[in-house]
Chain A
Amino acid sequence: MPIISAIGRRDLKVRLLIWSVYAVLTLGALSMIYPFLLMVSGSFKGETDIYTMTPVPEFLHDDDWLFRRYLESKYNVSIQTLQIVHHAEHLTWRGPTLPPACSDEELLKLYARFREEAGIPETWQYLGHLHDLNDRFFLPNARRFRERLRERFDSLDELNRAMNASYESWSLILMPVEKVENRRYRPSREDPFFQEFTRFKMTRPASERYLCDLDSVYRQLMLYPKFSRNVAKYNEAHGTAYASYEEVLLPSTAPGNRLEREDWEAYVRNELNLNFVRMDKSQAEPFAEFLRGKYLDRIELLNKAYGTSYASFSEIPFRESVPENEMEIVDWELWLRDKVPGEAIRVEGPRQAFERFAAANAPAVLASRGPLSLKTLDLDRYDFENARSWFMRECLTRNYIHVLDYVLLHGRGVLNTIIYCGLAIGTALIVNPLAAYALSRFKLPSTYKILLFCMATMAFPDAVIMIPEFLLLKNLRLLNTFSALVLPGAANGMAIFLLKGFFDSLPKELFEAADLDGAGEWTKFWSITMSLSKPILAVVALGAFTAAYRAFMFALIIIPDQEMWTIMVWLYQLQQMTHQSVTYAALIIAAVPTFLVFVFCQNIIMRGIVVPTEK
């Protein structure tokens, strides 16, 4: 502490000065550390809490936040889904809170049983914890599904052949987006990928799936856009007297109110997925007539379209629910759209099934409660309590697993980086020291010319050399090779100059003694020069490692082939397409090597501080 003199330390002014220096340093130190804490805490977060900017994730100590994270994961990061299943207007994931224990325990139990035992078809439900629509997260079920595929197929190639696909990597296998209530959601049944996915979906426990709440979907997609979220406007338009929208349901059969019926028919005929529609048996005759008309009364035309072999139109069985054959579906749907009378259409969805289940298993519950609605919020709480410890673990590891999956399963980023760093260190330890040794030992008469030759190009900014250098690499057909990464930077005038200076300062007596002993040049280079220069060589190696590890922009253009990308290039790609929290995890993982180097090589770094002084 030379500026603030030690003499007047007790003086108030001096003390104040010292304390203000401490204050400034401490403030600065905080600004150094805080971003780190945010990065670490952010790497455990998700869509719900990414912007809370707290150094400790809330979900670790606050159940509300953990519950929100649970909902986010279960409903595939889709806030619209949450709005639908919880009948709530949440605009962000911060909306929901952990509800108090359910008051209607009996109904909840019944619902949980229904979910397990009623054999609900897969076309009525979604798989949760799967993905988000933009694929910024890989949720646990996506990982499990990929794992399952890896078990089933030995190689990616085999999978591609079986699935008729062209995946370039396991981690690029994205999950299908389910939209089970939507009429146009009609995944091809023969599609092997989808079959596999559906089988997988049904092996997951019921608590990881969720049912399609048709009443809520109907309100959200049909009624709100048309009549706004204000139930008074709905009542006004229909002459009804509902107290809240909760009472407006999608009835099984066409409602009596003419205006309500119009909405109902418009929705059921045109928008509702066919898996929820049933047609009355009475339609068998008219439907056959319709087919006869469409196929000009020629059964062979129909057989051709359906790929069947009926002898006559009367042989075609009438289907109450949607048929399997693709062309048959087309006709069935056309019939539903505007031919069949409204009375003959019935909606059959999870609520209807639940009511029937209740009637069969617990008639008392049904009798005392009127129309049953799906108790999703309470059930979510119940599932959440059961899954708490698993889910906590999931939150803490999810983003890291995502990154590791991406880095390890996706090309050879890690291997490339290791090879590249190894080669870079190797060349840095050989090429420049050799040249420096030659200049230092032999006292060439042309030393200055050679040094001039080596250093003069430093006068030219990199941009001048970079472009023709790239073209040279291209013309030598070296793009996408390790040579392209290593060779251009192998020799460096400045490094030769510095090393020569160090070699010059080695005691000459050693070399003279070695000469007396008859040592060869190699011994003098290796056993004397190099081994005496270990500290400075360690600095050189460290520098080469850091430069190779962080090489990015030139690397981007000379190794554009995915096979050759290094970790930094992967990182650049990853952060463009994943969620911020995943990026944080990736940054932490990518920082590990340099952090370890720092921890173990602190002394080398410190020794490598070279202070130039005027001669």
Chain B
Amino acid sequence: MDSTERHLLRVAYSIFTLVLLFNRHLPAAQDADLTEKEMTIRVWGLPIPTATDADAQSTRKVISAFYRKHPRIRCEPGTGMKIENKDFDIIPLMQIAGDISPEVIYVNFRQSHTYISQGFLQPLDEWFYKLPEEERNRRVPPPAWPVIKRKGPDGQEHVWALPVRGLVMGLFYRRDLFQEAGLPDRAPEDWNELLEFARKLTNPEKNITGLGVVGGEECSWQFMSFLWSAGAEAVVQDEKGDWRCAFDSDEAATAALMYARLLNEPFQKDGRTINGCAYGDTWAGLYTMKWDRGQVGMVFNYLDEQVIAKDDPEMVGFGPVPRGPTSIDENGVYDCRNGIRGSEYNCAMLGMFAGIKDPARRQAAWDYIHWFDGEEARGIRTKAMVESGFGQFVNPKFLRQFGYTEYLRLVPKGWEDIWNEAQHNGKPEPYGKNCQQVYRYMARPLGQVINDSEVRRNIADKRYDLAQKRIREILKAGVAEANERMIGILTPEERSLRNRVAMGAVIFISVVFVLMMRRVMKTFAPPEMVIGGRGRWQFRRYRWAYVILFPAVGSIALWRYYPLVSGMIIAFQDYRVMGDSPWIGLDNFAAVLWDAQFWYSMWISVKWVVLFMLSAFIAPIILAVLLHEVPRGKIIYRTIYYLPAVITGLIAMFLWKSFYAPEGLMSQAVWVVNKVFGTSFNASRNWLQDPNWALVCCILPVVWFSAGPGCLIYLAALKTVPEDIYEAGDIDGAGPLHKLFHITLPSLKALIIIQFIGTFVGAFQTSEFMFIMTGGGPYSPNGATEVAALQIFYTAFMYLKFGLATAMAWMMAALLIGFTVMQLQRLRNMEFKAEGSKL
């Protein structure tokens, strides 16, 4: 056996070297002692090198000055992978999960709690408190203090990030449209004017609407300003320091009423009735497009502290958020004399990634963070702005500070007001635990308010008190749900109920799995006892067999069984990629059981599977039967039908995605159908954004590329059916249908069943196609194509809630295991023959 041994070693060795050879070595982060060497850190905030706009030019000068000051440090952009249809907040999370986090991370208010509690951020205390107190206060605007300075996972208070750029919500307007509508060249002062201006701007003939808002899941972001202007709050902190939703007050209802009035209230103009003077679309891109084209008169958007000129200042003016009301009369006129402007205050902040081991590298990261918006940098930026002709668009505060006073009188009127306003009434974007989710949870009741028929009717009849009453009901329900889901505020009874149910579920899952595993074991047990040695391993006798088995068995043990076991553990933990993962018992399961979103995604999965079985599963069978019937040209047809599979499913998905664009193939096909049959289907829809169509859109390409290859197996099976059965049928005078149902299909039965189970299990776990096609959307607020498998993927890898995602996966597995076991049983009892050569 010597030669065997040598050969085996050679094989094992070659695998090993192959793997090692091509493995990429870990990044240089591990190199010790970089103090004297040049080092490259990956950071946020570098401008696009070719951008010629003033902002990029000035930032470039700031960075150059940084290099001059720290000649040994070089910066690289920390770009990550872009995930379509997902916001940018997830990029840093994905980078951290993927071990490629930049040293300097961008932190915003809403994500700050997640970063801190998950231990992603390095406390900045050791550097921050060395700064003079005056600088500290200058760097951190009052609304930002509670955000950056708070308790970390260790229970101690630390400073976590440094604000670098303020952002304030303002109202932008198109000056040309204002001119055309005969409006003054300023933003509306209060809510009455906002309504009035928006109505004057609205012009259905030219497809112009007064106000543009982001609809769908992201609508809460702009609604927040309405909320604050009306004197309401989105979230409040209770005595224990927990954040709760509070958007169900009277003031909040006033805000929601205003929002609904803007979108829905009918009004008279030029002798015709127009419904609503605002425009919202679930697809944010469309609204920006309309703004660029001049089809939207006003929008709420962020103003940057440094410079305002994002749009063309000749075309676009801006002002503070309009003043909200203190009351509303029966004619719908607001009393805004003592109203407030609820501007959102937000900051871009820089934090340091906690995973940096090397102190020199940490120092470099701090140097960058500190420099980016320091006094010198501000001076450089302001000078660069002035020099490139943007003097009048710089914050007057900086103009004064750096001595460019001659520009002060050129500064547009609204600019300083907005900032002064923000200093007084600016509300920080919610930054508490789970507060990023308030946007999502507020979107749902808000969407309901807009679409509620009672609210609509009452607004149309100008019975605002009734409308407001109904709105409060909706908001109340929304807040209750949000609090429960977002913060997990539960009564003790509720909690114990949930735990009991979760316990029941876990026991049920365990029992199911144990029973199923027993069935699997039975299936694999040999039919009869092998005499002598059944159940014995006999390692000594068969040691070579075991040695060659090892790579496969070891690999399965490591990559299948170990994850299975560790997955069972993770499901009971609040798993964290950095730091310790606390045990949380049944909480994950309880959360999943009561998570409407998860069950909704299960429902979508079921819909998807049904669609899949009805189309992509059946199509190959029909095709095979048809192909089997044609006397001539079989090969050509077979090849043609196989063609789509040649480009792989993924590419087919990308291809079809383009067909669903608003003017794409799909629309044109519908248009042709309308022309030919005189029907009137809506051809100009955005197919992938339509909740009723998105899932169908995902299935069509699957049918397209899987019918050809799928039919081959049935064709091969059909070949094995002896001709004489058909001939016997002919003699008995059976018609084609009779033969189809009594000869053809029964002969395929075994194959169809095993294919059915396999396809079913496969379809239930599909997520890739939706990921590419729609990313799970459109969201309203639940994703119309977000199947359970995709939701699990997002929960784990984009939001890093591994424990929760694993619990979800186990729940899904419990529903599927019956089928997978059945599949195993069938496979075990089948013989496999390569029949393709007969084709």
Instruction: Give 6 pairs: A residue, B residue, CB < 8 Å, sorted on A.
Output: A51-B664, A174-B48, A472-B558, A493-B556, A521-B544, A611-B835
A580 touches B661 (CB 8 A): yes
Nearest-CB distance from A501 to chain B (Å)? 6
Known contacts A29-B640, A468-B563, A553-B793; is-contact A611 B751 (Cβ 8 Å)? yes
Dominant secondary structure at the A interface: helix
Name which of A35-43, A101-109, A372-380, A507-515 contacts chain B.
A35-43
Give the residues in chain B near A202, CB-CB below 8 Å. Answer: none
Contact with B along A444-473 (1 / 0, CB 8 A): 111011111111111111111111111110
B77 touches A18 (CB 8 A): no
Nearest-CB distance from A397 to chain B (Å)? 21
With beta carbons under 8 angstroms apart, the residue of B24, B744, B816 that contacts A480 is: B24
Which residue of the partner chain A has the closest CB to B309?
A184
Give the residues in chain A near B750, CB-CB below 8 Å. Answer: 612-614
Known contacts A3-B740, A606-B837; is-contact A474 B553 (Cβ 8 Å)? no
Nearest-CB distance from B626 to chain A (Å)? 5
Known contacts A188-B57, A435-B553; is-contact A587 B647 (Cβ 8 Å)? yes
Give the residues in chain B near A221, CB-CB below 8 Å. Answer: 314
With beta carbons under 8 angstroms apart, the residue of A459, A468, A612 that contacts B820 is: A459
A22 touches B630 (CB 8 A): yes
Give the residues in chain A near B99, CB-CB below 8 Å. Answer: 474, 477, 479-480, 560
Give the residues in chain A near B723, CB-CB below 8 Å. Answer: 2
Nearest-CB distance from B176 to chain A (Å)? 4
**Residue B730, interface by CB 8 Å:** yes
**Residue B765, interface by CB 8 Å:** yes
Q: Which 9 A-B pairs have the closest CB atoms?
A: A609-B836, A560-B98, A435-B552, A225-B176, A468-B563, A165-B49, A612-B830, A591-B647, A442-B545
A487 touches B81 (CB 8 A): no
**Residue A63, interface by CB 8 Å:** no
Nearest-CB distance from B72 to chain A (Å)? 14
**Residue A344, interface by CB 8 Å:** no
- Tell me the A31-53 residues at the B interface (CB within 8 Å): 31-33, 35-36, 38-39, 42, 51, 53
Give the residues in chain A near B95, CB-CB below 8 Å. Answer: 560
Give the residues in chain B near A448, CB-CB below 8 Å. Answer: 524-526
Q: How many A-B residue pairs have CB under 8 A?
A: 485
**Residue A313, interface by CB 8 Å:** no
Name which of A68-76, A119-127, A423-431 contacts chain B.
A423-431
Name which of A110-118, A243-251, A252-260, A562-570 contacts chain B.
A562-570
With beta carbons under 8 angstroms apart, the residue of A166, A334, A559, A610 that contacts B406 is: A334
Q: Given the complex of chains A and B, what is the CA–CA distance between A258 and B715 in angstroms?
A: 86
**Residue B839, interface by CB 8 Å:** yes
B556 touches A24 (CB 8 A): no
A461 touches B813 (CB 8 A): yes
Name which of A81-89, A206-214, A363-371, A571-579 contacts chain B.
A571-579
With beta carbons under 8 angstroms apart, the residue of B22, B309, B659, B827 that contacts A419 is: B22
Which residue of the partner chain A has the closest CB to B537?
A446
**Residue B802, interface by CB 8 Å:** yes
Give the residues in chain B near A564, CB-CB below 8 Å. Answer: 24
Known contacts A184-B54, A501-B832; is-contact A595 B646 (Cβ 8 Å)? yes
A31 touches B49 (CB 8 A): no
B179 touches A461 (CB 8 A): no
Give the residues in chain A near B808, CB-CB below 8 Å. Answer: 463
B97 touches A474 (CB 8 A): yes
Give the residues in chain B near A78, CB-CB below 8 Å. Answer: none
**Residue B19, interface by CB 8 Å:** yes
Q: Given the complex of chains A and B, what is the CA–CA distance between A577 and B84 in angstroms?
A: 10
**Residue A348, interface by CB 8 Å:** no
With beta carbons under 8 angstroms apart, the residue of A22, A453, A480 that contacts B100 is: A480
**Residue A235, interface by CB 8 Å:** no
- Tell me the B695-739 residues at the A interface (CB within 8 Å): 704, 707-708, 712-713, 716-717, 720-721, 723, 726, 729-730, 736, 739
Give the residues in chain A near B829, CB-CB below 8 Å. Answer: 614-615
**Residue B239, interface by CB 8 Å:** no
Give the residues in chain B near A337, CB-CB below 8 Å. Answer: 410
Q: Given the complex of chains A and B, what is the CA–CA distance between A4 and B64 in angstroms?
A: 80
A53 touches B545 (CB 8 A): no
Give the residues in chain A near B810, CB-CB below 8 Å. Answer: 464
With beta carbons under 8 angstroms apart, the residue of B97, B545, B560, B834 that contacts A441 is: B545
Contact with A along B325-356 (1 / 0, CB 8 A): 00000000000000000000000000000000
B15 touches A430 (CB 8 A): yes
Nearest-CB distance from B64 to chain A (Å)? 5
Q: Given the complex of chains A and B, what is the CA–CA distance between A28 and B643 in angstroms?
A: 12
Known contacts A7-B730, A163-B49, A431-B552; is-contact A611 B832 (Cβ 8 Å)? yes
Q: Given the complex of chains A and B, what is the CA–CA distance between A1 and B625 in angstroms?
A: 9
**Residue B806, interface by CB 8 Å:** yes
Give the residues in chain A near B50, CB-CB below 8 Å. Answer: 173-176, 193
B536 touches A446 (CB 8 A): yes
Contact with A along B517-561 (1 / 0, CB 8 A): 100110011100010011111100010111011011101111111
With beta carbons under 8 angstroms apart, the residue of B97, B655, B744, B793 that contacts A35 is: B655
With beta carbons under 8 angstroms apart, the residue of B18, B22, B388 that contacts A186 is: B388
Interface centre among A187, A467, A493 (most CB of B within 10 A): A467
Nearest-CB distance from A302 to chain B (Å)? 13
**Residue B771, interface by CB 8 Å:** yes
With beta carbons under 8 angstroms apart, the residue of B630, B813, B834 that contacts A608 is: B834
Give the residues in chain A near B52, CB-CB below 8 Å. Answer: 176-178, 185, 187, 194
- Tell me the A198-228 residues at the B interface (CB within 8 Å): 221-222, 224-226, 228
Nearest-CB distance from A537 to chain B (Å)? 12
Q: Given the complex of chains A and B, what is the CA–CA distance between A468 and B793 in angstroms?
A: 12
B665 touches A53 (CB 8 A): yes
With beta carbons under 8 angstroms apart, the residue of B390, B536, B824 that contacts A459 is: B824
**Residue B585, interface by CB 8 Å:** no
Name which of A277-285, A325-333, A352-360, A385-393 contacts chain B.
A325-333
With beta carbons under 8 angstroms apart, the residue of B100, B629, B739 that contacts A560 is: B100
**Residue A321, interface by CB 8 Å:** no
Give the residues in chain A near B74, CB-CB below 8 Å. Answer: 166
Q: Given the complex of chains A and B, what is the CA–CA distance between A426 and B21 in angstroms?
A: 14
Q: Given the complex of chains A and B, what is the CA–CA distance between A542 and B112 in angstroms?
A: 48
Q: Given the complex of chains A and B, what is the CA–CA distance between A494 and B520 in angstroms?
A: 14
B805 touches A467 (CB 8 A): yes
B3 touches A520 (CB 8 A): yes
A610 touches B833 (CB 8 A): yes
B98 touches A455 (CB 8 A): no
Give the residues in chain A near B98, CB-CB below 8 Å. Answer: 479-480, 557-561
**Residue B610, interface by CB 8 Å:** no
**Residue B216, interface by CB 8 Å:** no
Name which of B151-159, B267-275, B564-572 contacts chain A.
B564-572
B836 touches A608 (CB 8 A): yes
Known contacts A53-B665, A460-B564; is-contact A483 B23 (Cβ 8 Å)? yes
A520 touches B1 (CB 8 A): yes
Known contacts A445-B533, A458-B824; is-contact A5 B388 (Cβ 8 Å)? no
With beta carbons under 8 angstroms apart, the residue of B11, B516, B551, B835 that contacts A491 is: B551
Contact with A along B432-457 (1 / 0, CB 8 A): 00000000000000000000000000
A-B contact sample (16 more), CB < 8 A, given A184-B388, A487-B559: A39-B655, A184-B54, A225-B314, A330-B391, A431-B555, A445-B534, A463-B792, A465-B563, A480-B99, A487-B19, A549-B648, A560-B80, A561-B98, A577-B82, A609-B836, A609-B839
Contact with A along B634-658 (1 / 0, CB 8 A): 0001001111101111110011111
With beta carbons under 8 angstroms apart, the residue of B100, B535, B563 that contacts A469 is: B563
- Tell me the A404-448 residues at the B interface (CB within 8 Å): 419, 423, 426-427, 430-432, 434-435, 437-439, 441-442, 444-446, 448
With beta carbons under 8 angstroms apart, the residue of A25, A224, A483 that contacts B637 is: A25
- Tell me the A484-504 residues at the B interface (CB within 8 Å): 486-491, 493-494, 496-498, 501
Interface centre among B315, B530, B663, B806 (most CB of A within 10 A): B806
With beta carbons under 8 angstroms apart, the residue of A467, A480, A498, A572 that contacts B796 is: A467
